[in-house]
Amino acid sequence: MSNIEIMIPKEELFKRIKELGKQISEDYQGKTVKLICVLKGGIYFLTELSMNIDEDVPVELDFMAVSSYGNEQVSSGIVKIIKDLDEPIEGQDIIIIEDIIDSGNTLSYLINILWDRKPNSIEVCTLLDKPSRRVVDVEVKYCGFQVPDVFVLGFGLDVEQKYRNLPYIGKMVD
């Protein structure tokens, strides 16, 4: 059995995600918002968040898969697009949905790529943020929780592709 210590239980995650959904609903009144989920880590957050956005703010979804070249745990800032968006984003209001921001490399690269496609706006919504690890500055409008510099898992976050399905944020303990 792996020893996993729960850091943020499911109830707390869902409560905070509900608040984020409410905030987005208020900020996007009168607009349609497109949530761009960064696969695979963002999917659990995306589904819960999107169901907490009011029906008077129409939500569109699209997905992107990226991987950073080189060592998996220290991202290089050079991002390879594994799966691109299905639709153009020109003129649209975009929120990028991320599981966690660590160095900020992946996200800043992604934001640059997406601005080239001429959306009306781009904001970032991340479930977790590790601000102490930041290398590149990225503006994060919506953030669920700040976490310390430990490797976390669950609710979309993986350790070598495993444990994404855990309904809480945890960490490995020996």
Query: Tokens for 46?
Result: 């995306």
3-state secondary structure of 33: strand
Which alpha helices (H) appear in 3-159, and where do they start and end?
A: 10-27, 43-50, 105-115
Query: Tokens for 98?
Result: 């991320």
Least spacing, CB of residue 122 vs Mg ion, in Å:
18
Cβ–Cβ < 8 Å for 36, 63: yes
The one among 8, 17, 28, 41 contacting Mg ion by CB under 5 A: 41
- Segment near ligand IMP (CB under 6 A), from 14-22, 52-60, 148-156, 161-169? 148-156
Among residues 93, 99, 102, 129, which one is catalytic? Answer: 102
Should residue 105 be labelled a site residue for ligand IMP when binding is judged by CB under 6 A? yes
102: annotated active-site residue? yes
Should residue 126 be labelled a site residue for ligand IMP when binding is judged by CB under 6 A? no
CA atoms within a 13 Å half-sphere pointing along the CA-CB vector of 156:
21
- Interface positions, 64-83, toward ligand IMP (CB under 6 A): 75
Binding site for ligand IMP (CB under 6 A): 41, 75, 98-107, 151-153, 157-158
